Amino acid sequence: MAENMAQGLGRMREERMDVIILDANFDPLEQGVAFITREVRLLRPSERRRLFFVLVTSGVRTMDLHAAFLHNVNLVVNPSDVEQLPEALGVSIRHYNELYRPFNRALDIAPI
């Protein structure tokens, strides 16, 4: 868990992450959400496909695919449903891997 935006960006650049969970209120003084989201958007397509990006934000329904699309993430979770995050993450990653199964098989890479 990153304490601030600089630490979050540093970890993203140094470590290969399969899943990033970003709270919409992450480091507001340093615009943490904007910088982390920008870093994800700048990934090459081959790198972005290997990352499952989750946004925890109010005003959305957990696992709402349309809201996830609008936020440019793979999964949205409402903070009131955060206790359901493990189940939502499990189901969503399973669907994600199912979608990319032929692609991953062709490239001979493991699913997330």
Q: What is the mean pLDDT of each run of 10 residues along the chain (112 residues)?
A: 91 91 93 94 92 96 96 96 95 96 93 92
Can you give the pLDDT at residue 70? 95
Question: How many C-beta atoms lie closer than 10 Å to residue 102's C-beta?
Answer: 9
Comparing C-alpha atoms, which of 73, 36, 32 is closest to residue 51? 73
Can you give the pLDDT at residue 1? 87
Can you give the pLDDT at residue 39? 94
β-strand partners of 52: 19
Q: Tell me the two tokens of residue 17.
A: 């992450």
